[in-house]
Amino acid sequence: MENISNYSDYKKKVKDINVRSEIFNNMLNIFDNHITESIREIEESNFEGAEITLKLKIEVVEQTEDGDQNTGMPSYYYKQPVFNYNINSTLKKTNKSEGIYSEKSELCYQNGKYVLVPVNELQISIFDEVK
């Protein structure tokens, strides 16, 4: 571990852990770029919208700094946080076709298959021959 000579030097090196902390500056700058780029793409390219996801993985790993036998400095064990982020943008553009078939007909099963039979043909008229 680095030897810090006085308290004011130590205070300058201590970093808060929160979203506004300098440790997340790079992540937030990239996130801002995704927002700006998505808005530009939506405005210029007729995209319907965008979805931006930020995934932050936090781990704590145990570390060891070897001591120095010459100076009598002992080994130092500590827990080091690791912040791994992933930012993804997805632009939404839908190409959609719709249609409907609604002719007045009845679904029937004839000769081993389904068929649509017009409703008119099912009605019996007084002029129809009986078979």
Beta-bridge mates of residue 12: none
pTM above 0.75, yes or no: no
DSSP 52-64: EEEEEEEEEEEEE
pLDDT, tens digit, 9 for 90 and up, residues 63-87: 998 888 888 888 989 999 999 999 9
pLDDT, tens digit, 9 for 90 and up, residues 1-11: 455 567 777 77
pLDDT band at 131 (very low <50, low <70, confident <90, very high): low
User: Hey, which bits of 1-131 come out as E strands?
Assistant: 49-65, 76-92, 105-110, 113-118
Residue of 89, 82, 81 whose CA lies nearest to 30: 89
pLDDT of residue 103: 80
